[in-house]
């Protein structure tokens, strides 16, 4: 394919999906600057691997690239955390002032609870419940079976509700 056409295609995809993909990466690593870098790498990777794109679900393909790059990044920067499958985005239950300003009280609680979950749960919840991908699309992005998506979503939502309940408990007892 003509490189100019390919470039235009990347630009179109960027305008259509960059915010969604940035949002997803941000949920996985919680860092604005890192998320921006990975977002840029995602589209460069899509450009250089354009020929390997098969099928019609470009959004799912881009998300898969973004996820792989994010996991690579985590693995390089926090190998021990990755090994233990626990990458706490938040060092405490406090949000940065910028994030706190963006979210209302219940969203803050949800965000904190979500970020206490292990990566596999957070990943599947973000894709299914926040980005609203279908089970099939989520399975493709994660490279999992559909059943694994269902089971992890089920366990993840359970764990999320438990975290939220813990939050309630601490409010009541403090």
Partner 1 sequence: MRQYDDVNQGLKSLNQKFRLPENEQREIIEDINRKMDLPMTTRNRVQWKYYAATAVVVLLLVIVALPLIFDNQSFVGESEQPQGSFERNPTPPVTDDTEEVEYTFLIENKLPFDIYSMELRVYQKGDLIASPTSMNADGSPIKQGDIIEFEFLEMDGLEAGSAVVELFVTLEKPSKGSEKQFSPGKNSIMLFEEYKDFTFWLIGESVDKFYLFDVSEADLEILNVEQIKEEDNEIAAMIQERFSLGLTKEEVRAIIEIKYASSLADGGEFWRYDFGENYASPLDDMAGIDTEGLKEGKVQAQLFIDWDDENKAKSYSVFYLNHSDGKVYDYRVFENGLEKHHAITE
Point out which residues bind partner 1 (CB under 8 A): 7, 10-11, 14-15, 18-19, 22-23, 26-27, 36, 39-40, 43-44, 47-48, 75-76, 79-80, 83, 102-103, 106-107, 110-111, 114, 125, 129-132, 135, 145, 147-148, 150-151, 153-155, 157-158, 160-161, 164
CB closer to partner 1 out of 18 and 57: 18
113: nearest Cα among 25, 27, 36, 34: 27
Least CB distance to partner 1 at residue 112 (A): 12
Rounded to 10°, the helix 58-77/3-29 angle is 50
Least CB distance to partner 1 at residue 55 (A): 20
d(CA 126, CA 114): 9
Least CB distance to partner 1 at residue 98 (A): 10
């Amino acid at each position: 394919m003509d490189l100019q056409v390919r470039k235009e295609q990347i630009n179109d995809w960027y305008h259509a999906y960059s915010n969604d993909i940035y949002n997803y990466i941000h949920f996985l690593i919680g860092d604005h600057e890192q998320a921006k870098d990975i977002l840029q790498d995602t589209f460069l990777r899509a450009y250089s691997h354009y020929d390997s794109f098969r099928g019609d679900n470009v959004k799912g393909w881009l998300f898969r690239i973004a996820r792989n790059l994010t996991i690579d990044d985590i693995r390089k920067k926090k190998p021990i955390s990755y090994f233990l499958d626990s990458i706490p985005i938040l060092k405490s239950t406090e949000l940065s002032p910028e994030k706190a300003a963006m979210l209302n009280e219940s969203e803050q609680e949800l965000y904190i609870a979500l970020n206490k979950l292990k990566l596999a749960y957070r990943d599947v919840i973000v894709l299914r419940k926040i980005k609203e991908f279908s089970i099939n699309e989520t399975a493709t992005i994660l490279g999992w079976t559909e059943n694994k998506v269902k089971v992890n979503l089920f366990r993840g939502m359970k764990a999320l509700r438990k975290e939220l309940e813990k939050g309630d408990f601490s409010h009541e007892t403090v």
